[in-house]
Amino acid sequence: MKKLLLFVAIAFLSYTVNAQTEKGKWVISGSTSISYATTNLTLEFDGEEISDDTKGSIFSLTPSVGYFVINNLAVGLDLSFASANNDNGTTDVTTSSFSSILGGTYYFEAGDKFKPFVGLGAGLISTSSGDDDSLKSNGLALRGKGGLAYFVNQSLSIDFSVLYLNTNQKNKENSDLVSKNSSIAVGLGFSLFL
């Protein structure tokens, strides 16, 4: 009888650990990152490069929601706000951006408490460095992420992640002015699994 109860307990625990990322579940996340980044920002005017790399600090906040279409694969929407202070050696500029990215995140089985994950996404981004149209741009954003989810309990995880973002934007006032940006940031967040 003891062996049967032990077997049932182990089977139940195995099911509940795997149930967090099973098909039909939802995940609601929020992550934030504060990082010092080296950003590769290239400005092009009419096809010619006109700027160099910049360095700066970035603060971002990203709420997201996803639905598990199959076990361990959530498809969803990330909304992100970021504020960056960039310095290219001659100018110090604060830039705000808002993006909405559709994507997917895959969670790997790695034990009771930890699940590594990777994700890809694409969407739209809008950036502003002031009120004038010459200081605004919008375009496409591609994002990749990887990290580790630590499950505090059945429904809550603490997420450690590395994010890569690549954008290609046209200036609102002059579409010949194109900014291409790629950056890497480290983030910390929480996820709720329902």
pLDDT attached to residue 61: 84
How many whole angstroms separate alpha carbon 2 and alpha carbon 7? 9
Residue with tokens 């010949």: 176
pLDDT attached to residue 56: 65
pLDDT attached to residue 123: 97
Q: Are 104 and 121 in contact (CB under 8 A)?
A: yes
Q: What is the residue range of 21's domain?
A: 2-193
How many whole angstroms separate alpha carbon 83 and alpha carbon 132? 18
pLDDT attached to residue 119: 96
Strand partners, 69: none
How many whole angstroms separate alpha carbon 124 and alpha carbon 151? 31
Q: Are 68 and 74 in contact (CB under 8 A)?
A: yes
How many other β-carbons are positioned within 10 Å of the β-carbon of residue 127? 23
pTM: 0.76
Domain count for the chain, please give it.
Answer: 1
- The two three-digit tokens of residue 147, written as one number: 């990290």
- The two three-digit tokens of residue 80, written as one number: 């992100």
How many whole angstroms separate alpha carbon 184 and alpha carbon 37? 7
pLDDT in tens, the chain (194 residues): 555 444 444 444 444 445 588 999 999 988 766 555 555 566 677 777 766 555 666 778 888 999 999 999 999 999 988 887 766 666 667 888 999 999 999 999 888 789 999 999 999 999 998 888 878 999 999 999 999 999 999 889 999 999 898 999 999 898 888 888 888 888 888 999 99
Contacts of 156 (CB under 8 A, 6+ apart): 190, 191, 192, 193
Where residue 160 sits, what CATH number does that domain have?
2.40.160.20
